[in-house]
Amino acid sequence: MHNNKNKATAFSSPDFNRYFAASAFLTLATWMTRFLVGWMTWDLTASALWVGVVSASMLVPTLFLSPYFGVLADRVNARNGMVLIHMSEALLALATSLASVFGYFSLHWLLLLALLLGGLSAAQHPMRLVLLPKLVDRELFPSAIGLASTTYNASRVLGPALAAWLLLTVGVAAAFLAVAALLLAGLLLILRLKVTSSPSFDCSQPVLQALLQGFRVALMTPLIRLVLILTMIDGLLGRSVMELLPAISGQLIGGNAATLAKLTALAGAGSILGGVLVSRLRGKEARLLRLVLAALLGCSLILLSVMAVRELVGLGGMIMLLSLAVTMIGTGCQALIQLCIADQYRGRVLSIWTVVSLGVPALGAFVIGAAADAFGFRTVLLCAALLGAASVLATVNKYRLVRP
């Protein structure tokens, strides 16, 4: 561990600096890959159904396999696990590049690629979440998590743009080759991390028993239980709205592709700012919990403004503020769990949080989207705002005895 007690941010740790640089390469490669897979599916099939199937193929393994990889993350060296995972991703990108060159690129290849990437993503989430706290002192956990989120959200904007440019200028094969190069660059930095941790619990324990133990710890720890509930509210209230941005843009202001691009950029800017704000906090659970609750109530207030939105400026401001709040909630919730969970349960509990944070927004987007088709987005988002505020207040009242 590092002596950072008098330092303001996680950048005071040399290992975190290496991780931050590695994360910039790795997350850029991830978002480029997502764009390339989605675009190539559309290019091959011209079918929205197949695009959805391929997209779901990358998400479903994460939802179902993350808890099992959480058990593994508690048993192995997280740095070595990250190396193996991203090396596998680089080999997949290289194989896809070669498949394109030699004419083997097809829908079946894309489906297999999506499933394999989904499986690797399921393994990567708990490994990354276990690794990060080993790079800084406990009081700098929020700083490390907030700063790491800035690279993720910046890559969410830059990755698709870079992938699109490569597609237009050099083609599919070269684009996937660039992805492989980015992954290898990130790997070289991950290999320089000085993490020598040993397994934190009995590796002879059956996997299912270890998994159930992680669920019990999550449900029996009041603060973790509260964070999971708040994550669900965020998924239904804020993040599901972000998932529906193309439809919201089209219905509320009659937006086109250029409009969506501007809104996406504003959402990315809001996310980066949210990560920076959280990165300035120290490891105080009470302060983080108040931040998360305030941001959730802020989401409700922001969504209420939908009644006044009539043009791009208004909707853009709403989306930017909503994205800022959602990022603060997500990073704050993750930091709260990182601060209160014991090392031997970290991978398992955080993998449960990952499933909630990824799965609930997908469900929320489906529910809100279906309701919006029947009643319109203004009415549905107004109801979501009111229900979200009521849920937060009810949760706070029910768990008022929680004192982190």
Beta carbons within 8 Å of 129's beta carbon, 6+ residues apart: 73, 334, 338, 346, 347, 350, 351, 354
Domain end marker among 152, 167, 195: 195
Contact 116, 254 (CB under 8 A): no
Q: Is 2 left (phi over 0), alpha (psi -120 to 50) or beta?
A: beta
Largest CA-CA distance found in the chain, in angstroms, rounded? 63
pLDDT at 229: 92
Same domain assignment for residues 264 and 368: yes
DSSP-assigned letter for residue 198: P
Domain end marker among 195, 220, 252: 195
pLDDT at 138: 83
pLDDT in tens, 378-387: 888 899 889 8
- Write out the DSSP string of 4-68: -TT-SSGGG-HHHHHHHHHHHHHHHHHHHHHHHHHHHHHHHH--HHHHHHHHHHHHHHHHHHHHH
- Tracing tokens 């998994």 back to the chain, one arrives at 211
Global pTM reads 0.84
Q: What is the mean pLDDT of the chain?
A: 85
Same domain assignment for residues 58 and 156: yes
pLDDT at 1: 47
**Backbone torsions φ then ψ of 37, nearest 5 degrees:** -65, -45
pLDDT in tens, 312-327: 888 889 899 999 999 9
pLDDT at 5: 46
The count of domains in the chain is 2
- Closest CA relative to residue 27, chosen from 147, 138, 141, 143: 147
340/145 Cα distance (integer angstroms): 15
pLDDT at 246: 77
Contact 70, 351 (CB under 8 A): yes
pLDDT at 216: 93
Same domain assignment for residues 157 and 235: no
In 3-state terms the chain splits into helix, strand, coil percentages (rounded to 5) of 85, 0, 15
Asked if residue 200 belongs to a domain, the reply is no
Same domain assignment for residues 340 and 377: yes
Residues of the chain with pLDDT under 70: 1-7, 48, 196-203, 257, 283, 398-404
Which residue range forms the structural domain that includes residue 210? 205-404
